[in-house]
Copies of this chain bind each other. A is one copy, B any other.
Amino acid sequence: MLIDGKGLSKQMDASIIEKVNTLKSDGIDPKLAVILVGHDPASQIYVRNKHRKAKLVGIHSIDKRMPDDTTQEELLAVIHDYNRDASIHGILVQLPLPKQIDESAIIQAILPSKDVDGFSPVNLGRLFANSDEAYPVPCTPRGIMTMLDTYKVPLEGAHAVMVGSSNIVGRPLGAMLLNRNATVTYTHIYTKDMSSITQTADILIVATGVAHLIKGRDIKPGATVIDVGMDRDKAGNLVGDVDFDEAVKVAGKITPVPGGVGPMTITTLMQQTLELAEGKFSQQRQKQSVL
């Protein structure tokens, strides 16, 4: 069975459009700031897709471009301005950043209450600790959880294996699955006997950036396979980290590339921007001061 990320994202878009209109009639204009430093070709495509989707659903988006040689201080100044601007509800900085900029300092400079990408340590910490509060989370993992739930993939007691344990996908998604009582295994390039591990997965998440890394024989018959890859094969075609033609014969459910994870990431970004504009996340309501 194909997990139709593209189709699901379209349904969600329709719902988001309605909610955006409701917000606007209440006098709130949801606004997302997207900062792109440099000219990485993949980043330019991702940013373009984010703005297109924002336009579709009625969210105003700021398309902030900065040159390759932007300094850390210059980028921080822009973030500080957006933090202060009450009309901006979500701020994201497209990664990766050029080498002269410390990514971690940039991520931590974004107000946690505008952290639409969910990468700020305080929000990642809430996710990691399964906090009862509402807080923004990374969008690719959240979109994947939406697909798993929509397709009624059982999570409690299931064995979920992360192939690739990045901060952007593998780690937060593993935490989300653990929070739903899955047994979670994190693997990476140092893992030994990868195939023997992937073959025990009821839910196999593949996010490595290696085209067709996972073959049919690596998959447990009937497993749910989520392919997060967006790679180019030798002919220049867009393919995933999973050999789809082999995997589709073994897996119970599988996301195609394209048309699976990608569209759900973008739509989830819009969903989360909307929620920030609606004020749904605790820290926006908290007047807690520690001094």
Q: Which residues in A have some Cβ–Cβ distance to B below 8 Å?
A: 80, 83-84, 104-105, 108-111, 119-133, 156-157, 159, 165, 167, 171, 174-175, 178, 181-188, 190-192, 197, 288, 290-291
Contacts and interface: CB of A to CB of B under 8 A. Distances in A.
Nearest to A126: B121
A187 B192 contact: no
Contacts of A178: 165, 171, 186
Number of copies: 2
A291 B120 contact: no
Nearest to A124: B125
Given A104-B131, A124-B129, A132-B104, A80 B291 contact: yes
Given A129-B121, A185-B185, A109 B290 contact: yes
A121 to B, nearest CB: 3
B128 A171 contact: yes
B192 A157 contact: yes
Contacts of A175: 128
Contacts of A120: 125
A109 B165 contact: no
The 9 closest A-B pairs by CB, nearest first: A121-B125, A125-B125, A124-B125, A181-B190, A122-B122, A185-B185, A128-B128, A183-B191, A157-B190
Most chain B CB inside 10 Å of its own CB: which residue of A122, A133, A175: A122
A193 to B, nearest CB: 9
Contacts of A167: 129-130
20 contacts: A83-B291, A84-B291, A104-B129, A108-B288, A109-B288, A111-B291, A121-B121, A121-B123, A121-B124, A121-B131, A124-B129, A129-B171, A157-B191, A174-B186, A178-B186, A182-B190, A183-B185, A183-B186, A183-B197, A184-B185
B125 A190 contact: no
Given A121-B131, A122-B122, 14 more contacts: A80-B290, A104-B133, A109-B290, A119-B129, A123-B125, A124-B124, A156-B190, A157-B190, A165-B178, A171-B178, A182-B190, A183-B197, A185-B185, A185-B186
Contacts of A192: 157, 159, 183
A103 B16 CA distance: 34
A184 B182 CA distance: 14
